[in-house]
A and B are shown apart, each in its own frame.
Chain A
Amino acid sequence: MKSVIRTAAVLALSAVVPVAAHAHKAWLLPSSTVLSGKDEIAVTVDAAASNDLFYFDHRPLRLESLVVTGPDGAKVEPENKSTGKYRSTFDLPLKAPGTYRIALVMDGASARYKEDGKEKRWRGRAEDMAKEIPASATDLVVTQNVRRIETFVTSGSPDDAALKPTANGLELQPVTHPNDLVANSEAEFKLVLDGKPAPGVKVEIVRGGIRYRNQLGETTVTTDDNGVFKYTWPEPGMYWLEANVSDDKATLEDAKERRAGYAATLEVLPE
């Protein structure tokens, strides 16, 4: 009986497996994360994918999937959206005090298939798959990709209404508020997959400013049985963290595997 239980536990654990990080780091970079004042306060946010953090030198992130949640939990409309050669940018007016969650939320797909005996690859929006992959394709393998890239800003006192998980894909749930981070203090977060604790997931943490140092200095922490991870920020700065998992919970027809990714930019202030 005991061994049956253990086998079941091992199977349950192995259903969610870590997957390799993306080739480039995707990020949102806000002009400020902690703000005071009442009137006309706003942040400008850059969105890009690059090798070095946080320099826009590779490609912009598209803003079609931008979702901003305000302190009352309702959607907030960004202004002055534009996409250039290396970065996208937009303004976010902070009309009410509290915490704003800024997210690029992608629910797409990728596929491998053979056409006339040749190996082909495709990546894009799920709804475009049928028309972009030829009907003559064989050996079709479809993967669903749910990916979330986030940052947070707070005007006045931090609060939690915007931070409720949507329960789709991988998300960060604060124990320590993401706009209340201080150097040499320990922060605690919980990773959730579809709203449930995600245990045993590797989280990569890197501080920005990579261009001006020789070593990447990344740290990897692993979530515990409750999906919780802790990290003590060694110094102030903008930090980037990323986690990726893979499981068989794809909701797309044709897709056997689902990949869920999460990345966030967090600012750590001096003591």
Chain B
Amino acid sequence: MRILLSVGLSGLMAAPSLAADMEISIDIPKLDVAEYHKPYVAIWLEGPDKKVAANLAVWYDVANRKQEGDKWLKDLRQWWRRTGRELKVPADGLTSATRAPGSHTIKFEDSAALKDLASGQYELVVEAAREVGGREVLRIPLQWPPKEGTSLNAKGEHELGTVAVNVKP
């Protein structure tokens, strides 16, 4: 009986998942505006408790001439409130430069950020904020680790084009 009980418990504890891959592609739309700045973008995984389960990428003005690129990180409001304000930037493997309009793909193969995640339901969140422009947040619910190869996507209306995520076990 005792053995059975401990097996049941370990099932509930959701052991860390085995290696699985995630590929995210993000369209940054070309906008016809008088003053254009490439958007700041944050990409993270959120648990059902709205807590950040994994920080995946942050694109910001890392190489700002006056070294004040971090001054606008707070404009990624949800990311800033949930995790950004607790982090030190730049951070290896997380932060990189802003991207020009077009499609950008980032891959997480056997990634450290995802390897230790408990299996369960998550939301992939992509937030974009543009200087003298707007802000947009897209959410894609997904299961991690994936049981089978899956493609999911969401379409932005203002600051983001299509965001697609491909996961495979």
Q: Which residues of A contact B (CB under 8 A)?
A: 34-41, 156-158, 180, 182, 269-271
Contacts and interface: CB of A to CB of B under 8 A. Distances in A.
5 contacts: A36-B72, A37-B68, A37-B71, A40-B68, A157-B85
B15 to A, nearest CB: 32
A33 to B, nearest CB: 10
Interface stretch (B74-82, B96-104, B158-166): B74-82
A34 B74 CA distance: 7
B139 to A, nearest CB: 12
B141 interface: no
A41 B71 contact: yes
A37 B90 CA distance: 11
Interface residues of B, number: 14
A37 B73 contact: yes
A271 B81 CA distance: 10
Interface of B: 67-68, 70-74, 77-78, 80-81, 84-86
B71 A157 contact: no
Contact of B77 (A37, A41, A157, A269): A269
Contacts of B86: 157
Nearest to A35: B74
Contact of A36 (B67, B73, B78): B73
B78 A271 contact: yes
Given A35-B71, A157-B86, A182-B81, 7 more contacts: A34-B80, A35-B74, A36-B70, A36-B73, A37-B73, A156-B85, A180-B81
Contacts of A39: 67-68
A259 to B, nearest CB: 37
